[in-house]
Structure 1
Amino acid sequence: MLTFKIEKDGAEFHAWCPELVGCHTHGETVGKALDNLKDAVQLYLDTMKEEEIAKLSAEMLVEA
């Protein structure tokens, strides 16, 4: 399970996921910050998946 945190930061809202280092965003409203964070988390996880696939592919080439 991932934790989403949102807090007021000046005129905007800062949103982040503590479990995913560097995964944070902002929005003019809580709703927009949450929507942006959902997108950021999805991109973060997609990137992790792609990097893992690339790593496994490279390892398979080395072994072959």
Structure 2
Amino acid sequence: MYIMKRKFKLSVIVEHDKNGYFAFSPELQGCYTQGNTYEKVMENIKDAIKLHLEDRLERDEAIPEIESVSLTTLEVEV
């Protein structure tokens, strides 16, 4: 039996501090991970998202998708 795969477009935010990297997907509440390197945290968040989506699909839950995301930095002087 062939199961058709679906692709989902989700945003991922990666933060870096002295302890390493932290990544999460804002559309998927509770879907987050960490890693020592950028490459590792990206690998980890991809796995976390896949597991999260598989669980939602199994329970016939809606999966939010985004059209576009804009992220920038802003310097503010006070």
Question: TM-score, length-normalised on structure 1?
Answer: 0.76
| Sequence identity percentage | 38
Quick one: distance in 1 between partners of 2:29 and 2:17?
A: 19
Q: Is 1:39 paired with 2:43?
A: no
> Counterparts of 1:1-64 in structure 2 under 5 Å?
1-52=9-60
The alignment of Structure 1 onto Structure 2 pairs a total of residues equal to 53
Deviation at 1:11, TM superposition (A): 1.8
Which aligned runs of 4 or more in structure 1 are off by greater than 6 angstroms?
none
User: Which structure: greater helix fraction?
Assistant: 1
Q: CA RMSD in A?
A: 1.4
Separation (CA, whole Å) in 2 of partners of 1:35 and 1:25 = 10
Structure with bigger gyration radius: 1
CA distance in 2, matches of 1:48, 1:4: 18
**CA shift digits 1:24-50 (9 cap, x unpaired):** 000000110000000000000000011
Structure 2, unaligned stretches of length 5 or more?
1-8, 62-78
